[in-house]
């Protein structure tokens, strides 16, 4: 069976006692201080490493589980792999300079300049005809790349949740505080100042790479998200809007598979240059305005089940507008959803 055809499986970790036993076995093998024949580490081992102290049965079972994984077969490289690799490198290493490959020599070019101008004109005309098509296909390619990034973010959120009691990424908050101060630096222990900083935990704690939280259509996005930072530097730098994390209780992933948790940027909360750091509510826009990330054509949306949808409308599922809280039409930056299943995605 193709492994990618297997049904999705929940991530499961080990019990605390098993984690200790596995760590002891893995670390001892990495140090190379003892042979771990029982755990399948070294077929030539003549001695068996003392198993971790404590529960002998547990250590032995952990060792056998690792030995079972060690039965995973592998295949050897083909005989000519080294040769093909070196040939490929030689091709690059000794390629000809460009001027030679175009046939320029001491005698000069072998065609007239008028020929060159004619060819250039034809190319220009052809290019102007296909430009709109190319532009549209490039936009589609960026939209698909954005969807792939959101899927990667979903996998990172899944890993985070598996390690954190099945909750969405969430740092230390002060309930009732303003959540839209994007870019306002947080201290190491102090409360988080913006909703985007909760999402940034995926970068800080190594669950996601920069690309997973960067939309290719966001021209203000930084090239790399530094794991030593706490938040994006400013609201325009943020690519995605994340389920608001300022409720008293963290959002758990249990039983909400269709709920939106991350999407292209919410257009109703925009950066206000005049106010410096932070956002302001755009009450002048229609509530169902599409994200501006992809030309206001729609938005990519990640649901709690890990699926990424493209939707032309921000209203999905049970008539839930993912940009707004049900029944709230004025925002000061402290509003939070009453119901845990009410999606409210903000930068």
Considering only residues 16-35, where is the footprint of other proteins by CB under 8 A? 17-19, 21-23, 26-27, 29-32
Kindly identify the residues of this chain, within the stretch 159-178, that bind other proteins according to CB under 8 A.
Answer: 159, 161-166
72 makes contact with other proteins (CB under 8 A): yes
Q: How far is the CB of 278 from other proteins (least distance, A)?
A: 30
How many residues at the interface with other proteins, by CB under 8 A?
A: 81
Q: Does 258 bind other proteins (CB under 8 A)?
A: no
Stretch binding other proteins (CB under 8 A), from 1-9, 102-110, 174-182, 235-243: 1-9
- Segment lying near other proteins (by CB under 8 A), choices 214-222, 248-256, 266-274, 283-291: 248-256
Determine contact, residues 141/167, Cβ cutoff 8 Å. Answer: no
Residues 120-149, interacting with other proteins (CB under 8 A) = 148
- Binding to other proteins by residue 228, rule CB under 8 A? no
CB 296 within 8 A of CB 290: yes
Record the tokens describing residue 258, joined without a space: 């269709």
- Residue in 47, 53, 54, 70 binding other proteins, rule: CB under 8 A: 70
Please, are residues 190 and 176 in contact by the beta-carbon 8 Å criterion? Answer: no
The region of 133-141, 182-190, 303-311, 320-328 touching other proteins under the rule CB under 8 A is 303-311
Residues 214 and 212: their CA atoms lie apart, in Å, by 6
Cβ closest to other proteins, residue 14 vs residue 285:
14
Q: Tokens in use for 40?
A: 């399948």
Rounded alpha-carbon distances, angstroms, from residue 232 to 146, 195, 240, 309: 18, 11, 11, 25
Residue 314, judged by CB atoms within 10 A of its CB (0-12, 13-18, 19+), counts as buried
Is the four-CA dihedral 161, 154, 334, 200 of positive or negative sign? positive
Give the separation between CA 337 and CA 320, rounded to whole angstroms.
12
Binding mask 187-226 for other proteins (x = CB under 8 A): ------------------xxx-------------------
37 counts as binding other proteins under rule CB under 8 A: no
Is residue 227 a contact residue for other proteins (CB under 8 A)? yes
Tokens 């399948």, residue located: 40
Query: Least separation, in Å, of the C-beta of 4 and other proteins?
Result: 5
**From the CB of 33, what's the least distance to other proteins, in Å?**
12
| 308, 313, 318, 323: CA torsion to nearest 10 | 90
Please say whether the dihedral angle defined by the alpha carbons of residues 168, 171, 211 and 344, taken in this order, is positive or negative. Answer: positive
Count how many residues are written for the chain: 347
Among 53, 89, 122, 185, binds other proteins (CB under 8 A): 89
């Amino acid at each position: 069976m193709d492994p990618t055809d297997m049904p999705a499986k929940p991530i499961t970790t080990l019990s605390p006692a098993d984690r200790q036993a596995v760590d002891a076995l893995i670390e001892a093998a990495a140090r190379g201080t003892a042979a771990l024949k029982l755990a399948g580490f070294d077929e030539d081992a003549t001695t068996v490493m003392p198993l971790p102290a404590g529960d002998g049965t547990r250590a032995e079972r952990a060792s056998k589980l690792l030995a079972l994984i060690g039965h995973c077969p592998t295949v050897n490289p083909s005989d000519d792999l080294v040769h093909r690799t070196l040939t490929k490198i030689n091709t690059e290493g000794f390629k000809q300079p460009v001027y030679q490959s175009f046939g320029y020599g001491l005698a000069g070019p072998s065609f007239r300049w008028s020929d060159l101008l004619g060819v250039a004109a034809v190319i220009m005309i052809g290019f102007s005809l296909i430009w709109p098509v190319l532009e549209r296909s490039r936009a589609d390619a960026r939209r698909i790349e954005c969807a792939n990034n959101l899927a990667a973010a979903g996998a990172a959120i899944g890993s985070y949740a598996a390690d954190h009691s099945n909750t969405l990424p969430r740092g230390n908050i002060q309930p009732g505080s303003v959540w839209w101060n994007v870019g306002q630096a947080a201290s190491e222990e102090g409360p988080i100042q913006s909703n985007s900083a909760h999402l940034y935990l995926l970068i800080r704690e190594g669950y996601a790479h920069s690309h997973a939280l960067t939309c290719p259509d966001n021209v203000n996005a930084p090239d790399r998200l530094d794991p030593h930072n706490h938040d994006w530097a400013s609201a325009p730098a943020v690519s995605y809007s994340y389920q608001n994390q300022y409720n008293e209780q963290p959002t758990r992933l249990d039983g909400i598979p269709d709920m939106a948790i991350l999407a292209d940027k919410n257009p109703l909360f925009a950066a206000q240059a005049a106010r410096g750091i932070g956002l302001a509510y755009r009450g002048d826009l229609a509530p169902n305005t599409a994200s501006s990330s992809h030309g206001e054509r729609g938005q990519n949306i990640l649901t709690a089940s890990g699926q990424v949808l493209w939707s032309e409308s921000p209203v999905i599922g049970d008539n839930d507008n993912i940009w707004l809280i049900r029944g709230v039409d004025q925002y000061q930056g402290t509003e939070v959803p009453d119901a845990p299943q009410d999606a409210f995605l903000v930068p």
